[in-house]
Amino acid sequence: MLLFQLYGRRSNISLIKKNQDSQSFKSKLVAPNESQSMARKIHLSTLNEETLETLEKTFDQDIKIHLKNNTRYEQLDFNEKKKFLPTFIEFLNTTSFFISDKGLPKISLFHTETHCFKTHDPIIACNKLYKIFTQKYLTQQKKDEITRELKKKRKQAANYIKKSEEKISYLKEQRSLKEMAHIIMANLHNINPNDAQIVVKDLYHETAYVTIKLKPQISPQKNAEILYRKSKNQRLEIMNITENIAAKKKRIEQLDQKIEAIQLAKDWKAVERLIKIIPSDRPAIALPFNTFSLANYTIFVGRNNKSNDILTFDYAKKDDLWLHVKDAQGSHVVVKKKGAQPIPKFVIQRAAELAAYFSKRKTENMTPVQYTERKYVRKIKGSPPGQVAVMKEKVLLIQPKL
């Protein structure tokens, strides 16, 4: 008896002989223990309950479904089954082979409405099944896999566009920071030292008053200066987001073209050609730190002391910006620099917010964060992971924020 074991990479063919060791096409894979019982030659005329059970083990799923749906086999007693089986087995020995290509291609001994090919020759049936499986089924599986991946990327790009457009709308609906700074400068004589907020007449709406929050530890002029700077950074942020939205829309157009091309591919060779054209966006190795993005800048945040060392001394380059909360334990934060272009202040502020948040001082209202170029950070000999010496640093007072 030939036993076909179709188990993916562990598929095998074994020759089973009664009371003899089995021989396998793949010698490292042995035939199952019950294979000897299958090798028995069963004579229907001398069938008993034990040999009937052995015979029923050879019934595949199609036979079981056919017997269940088209006969009363399950309700028959032993003697009735003994009368029924010779006729049924004769039918199986003389019937045609039907090949279905719906879903997973398969050969069946029973006529189905979904079959696409019929033959009396088992060799022709096997060859036809192989051809359908390799040329049609595997090609469609690969097309579906690539299409799912492309649609996932399209959905990510569409979500980015939606969120970015909502953010731009939010920023534009907010009161102009530049106007608020003008109002502060026009009311310097009305602001007392240590005022946390002021309520003054709105210069841009004749009958209205406006409430402006202040940082009491700094002068009104400095408060206005911060608002002027934030206003400038806000304009730059809107410009960068707008550019990113345009890039994502172009990306969606490209993905739609690729999805259409994949769906039109008719054979495996056409799919292979498209696979070479469509590069994978997956990173080769996952980075051991958290990443955040802002205006095409990537901000990296260490996860622990070991991760901090890897980020600062193995991954960051000398001109990248390095940040860390001052006088407390926390994550190392790195902003990757783009050529000679200086990193925008609003990106530095965002990185500082993250450095403050991922630290022991995250619960404070305002937290000092030091920053400098990576080349001014050095490892102290013999110090534990994450501990460094910093030079030429600047300090930014920031609110911790994720």
pLDDT at 284 over 50: no
Q: Where in the chain is the domain with CATH 1.10.287?
A: 136-277
136-277 classified as CATH 1.10.287:
yes
Closest to 10 measured CA to CA, from 32, 43, 40: 32
The confidence score (pLDDT) of residue 329 equals 92
The mean pLDDT value for 283-305 works out to 82
Rounded to two decimals, the pTM is 0.49
Angle at 191 between CA 185 and CA 197, to 5 degrees: 95
- Residue 120 token pair: 């009396």
If you search the block for the tokens 């039918």, which residue do you land on? 91
Q: Which range among 7-16, 140-149, 212-221 shows the weakest confidence by mean pLDDT? A: 7-16
- Residue 317 token pair: 């380059």
In angstroms, what CA-CA distances link 230 with 191, 234, 339? Answer: 21, 6, 24
215 vs 196: CA distance, rounded Å: 6
Residue 309: CB atoms within 10 Å: 19
Reported as a pLDDT band with limits 50, 70 and 90, residue 248 is very high
Each residue of 77-119: pLDDT tens digit? 988 988 899 889 889 888 999 999 888 898 888 888 888 999 9
- Percent of the chain scoring above 90 in pLDDT: 29
Average model confidence (pLDDT) for the chain? Answer: 85
382 vs 387: CA distance, rounded Å: 10
pLDDT at 219 over 50: yes
Q: Which range among 10-24, 150-164, 209-223, 356-370 shows the weakest confidence by mean pLDDT? A: 10-24
One-letter amino acid at 77 equals D
Each residue of 226-238: pLDDT tens digit? 888 888 888 888 8
pLDDT at 261 over 60: yes
The confidence score (pLDDT) of residue 47 equals 82
The mean pLDDT value for 138-150 works out to 89
Angle at 11 between CA 90 and CA 271, to 5 degrees: 105
